[in-house]
Structure 1
Amino acid sequence: MQRLHPMLAAAGLLGFLLGGSAMAQSSSSAQSSASSVNGSSYSGQITGNGIAQYGLDTRPHRQLTVRLDTDNPNTRMKITQDGAADPPCQGTATPNVCSFRTEPGASYRVQVYLTRDAAQRGESTRFSLAVEQGS
């Protein structure tokens, strides 16, 4: 009988514990660049049903603006607030820019994904996000 490598076993266990989100992340690649006081940037690539997700480091009562640049017009972003029923921004109306005022103690996430039809066709997209915080 072969023995599993500890890292592979740990990765398999982590994938099992995370459920479907681990599968969604498997077809995406993403990276973040250095953050500055007022902004940061992220870039990556997703294919099909892949989702790239980033936690945003925010300060309360600031104007937060997230800009999406992409090579595929079927790419969307959604920004969610942990614990809130409605997202501050959902990219269907204006898919390339989202701007809102942050709340105290709130945590925000941005998700980048392809529309359902594009995902079913197996399309892919390269993207970059620019995140800025104003006063």
Structure 2
Amino acid sequence: MPPTPIRASLLLAALLLTSPAWSADPVHKEKVELTAEAPTHSVKGKIKGYGTAEYTLTGKAGQTLRVQLKTNQPSNYFNLRQAGKDEALFIGSSGGNSYQAKLPADGEYTVQVYLMRNAARRNAAASYSLDIGLRN
């Protein structure tokens, strides 16, 4: 017996609104709270393949942000993005695994840890430690 038009519509809607787990790359998101009493945050993590980790913090113009990535994988880097901007403030694959500079504006900043495509395609893994510091 063929499905009724209503059942067919519901089935189609269910298929369109759900995405299989295997289609999405894992993204670990973490909010980092940096204060005068706790101006640094250290984390250890792992990523694999096209998975990424995003650490978001809030800063003020003129504060100095320092980010240091230590990793066991030579294709593991981080980018730094300012909310609302298309271009990254820092691109690890060309700038290295260390960043220190004054923030250009008040707002939210995200440190995204990732593997370069050559390693991600091979489903390589990286263990890393990330130090984030913010000082006036």
- Same fold, TM-score > 0.5, yes or no: yes
Give the Å deviation of 1:105.
2.6
User: Structure 1: which 5+ runs fail to align?
Assistant: 1-14
- Give me the TM-score of the superposition, normalised by structure 2: 0.72
> RMSD between aligned alpha carbons?
3.0
User: Structure 2: which 5+ runs fail to align?
Assistant: 1-16
Is 2:33–2:57's contact at 8 Å kept on the other side of the alignment? no
**1:77 partner SS:** strand
Give the Å deviation of 1:71.
0.7
Q: Which runs of structure 1 show a deviation greater than 6 angstroms over 4 or more consecutive aligned residues?
A: 30-34
More strand by share: 2
Q: Deviations over 1:17-39 (max 9, x none)?
A: 9x99x92226x6x8789855321
Give the Å deviation of 1:94.
2.6
| Structure 1 partner of 2:56 | 55
Who wins on radius of gyration, i.e. which is larger? 2
**1:24 partner SS:** coil
C-alpha separation in 1, matches of 2:30 and 2:55: 10
Residues 1-135 of structure 1: pairs in structure 2 closer than 5 A: 16=18, 23-25=24-26, 37-135=38-136
Give the Å deviation of 1:81.
0.5
C-alpha separation in 1, matches of 2:101 and 2:89: 7
Q: Deviations over 1:20-79 (max 9, x none)?
A: 9x92226x6x87898553211122101111111111232331110100011111101001
Give the Å deviation of 1:16.
5.0
C-alpha separation in 1, matches of 2:49 and 2:97: 19
Give the Å deviation of 1:104.
3.5
| Structure 2 partner of 1:3 | none
Is 2:69–2:128's contact at 8 Å kept on the other side of the alignment? yes
How many residues are aligned here? Answer: 117
